[in-house]
Each structure stands twice: as structure tokens, then as C-alpha cells.
Amino acid sequence: MIYCVVPPELGEDTYRRLVEHYRDNPNVTVIMDRRRGERRTDRSGGGARETRDRRRRPPGSFDI
């Protein structure tokens, strides 16, 4: 499946022309992007995660 996303700057005319162009191709879907703003919020934490060692210790090993 191929999605052809048309940005709002290109307008409805471009959207209609692309829909017409790809009408016989069932593998292409033309979508008009209607989002108004950024959905992501500012997470000032930088997005870093704490990494940890998830490996298991072999049986019988001890921390000294």
C-alpha cells in the first residue's frame, strides 16, 4: 500500500488531480493532510531513557 499525502499548501486542486491520476491503481491511496498544529508536546527531558542491564546472572554467581 502506498499513501500519497498532500500538504495543505498544495490545495484541494492538487488532491483532486492526484486522486484522478491514481484512480485505477488500488495500491495507492491519496490523503489530504488536514492537521493544524504539532501534536507532539515539548518534553524538556530530552527524551533520554535510563538504560539498564537486563541480562541475568548465571546461577550460583554472587556479588561480593
Q: Across the 64 residues of the chain, what is the mean pLDDT of every consecutive 10-residue run?
A: 94 96 96 83 64 77 68
Can you give the pLDDT at residue 44?
62
Can you give the pLDDT at residue 48?
64
Computed from CA positions of residues 12, 14, 20, 23, in that sequence, does the dihedral angle turn out positive or negative?
A: negative
Residue type, 1: M
What cell numbers appear for 16 in the block? 483532486
Please give the model's pTM, rounded to 2 decimal places: 0.55
Nearest residue to 3 (alpha-carbon basis) of 34, 25, 26, 30: 30
3-state class of 13 per DSSP?
Answer: helix
Can you give the pLDDT at residue 8?
92
Can you give the pLDDT at residue 63?
66
Q: What are phi and psi of 38, to 5 degrees?
A: -75, 130
What cell numbers appear for 62 in the block? 554472587
